Amino acid sequence: MHEFTSVHEAIERIKQMQPLPRKVRIRMGKMRGSAKAFEEMFREHTRDTGLQGIGLEIEQVPVEISCQCGLEGTVRVMGHVHFVRCPRCGHITDAIRGNELEIEVLE
Ligand SMILES: [Zn+2]
């Protein structure tokens, strides 16, 4: 699952922070899947580690494209996706937003 990769990336990045944060905000692009699945997996993979019980605020970032056909804007994606297809012309197009994984320390 795509969330799994994101969870591992987040855990690795948080583990390197000194001191370890007690609460973080994660801005997660919708291409990375659902916040709910992310949080469940995060909890499972941090159990019995220094990150157990850390506060999580997850903010989901919508997917936005800018296609060669001229279409620009937000598109809906279902679940975790590796690429986005333009709803107008059908081309596989680069997302300009929606794949980020940003971690901000809150406490
Ligand atoms: Zn297009």
- CB neighbours (10 Å) of residue 4? 14
What is the whole-number distance in angstroms between the Cα of residue 41 and the centre of ligand 1?
Answer: 34
What is the whole-number distance in angstroms between the Cα of residue 85 and the centre of ligand 1?
Answer: 8
Q: Is the preceding peptide bond at 19 cis, omega within 30 degrees of 0?
A: yes
Rounded to 5°, angle at Cα 64 from 63 and 65: 125
Where does residue 76 rank: exposed (0-12), middle (13-18), buried (19+ CB within 10 A)? Answer: exposed
| Residue range of the domain that includes 98 | 2-105
What is the whole-number distance in angstroms between the Cα of residue 37 and the centre of ligand 1?
Answer: 30
Please tell me the predicted confidence (pLDDT) of residue 2: 65
What is the whole-number distance in angstroms between the Cα of residue 86 and the centre of ligand 1?
Answer: 5
pLDDT in single tens digits along all 107 residues of the chain: 568 899 999 999 999 999 999 999 999 999 999 999 999 999 999 999 999 999 999 999 999 999 999 999 999 998 888 889 999 999 999 899 999 999 999 99
Instruction: Specify the pTM.
Output: 0.87
**How many structural domains is the chain composed of?**
1
* Domain of residue 94, CATH code: 3.30.2320
Cβ-contact 38, 61 below 8 angstroms: no
Please tell me the predicted confidence (pLDDT) of residue 3: 80
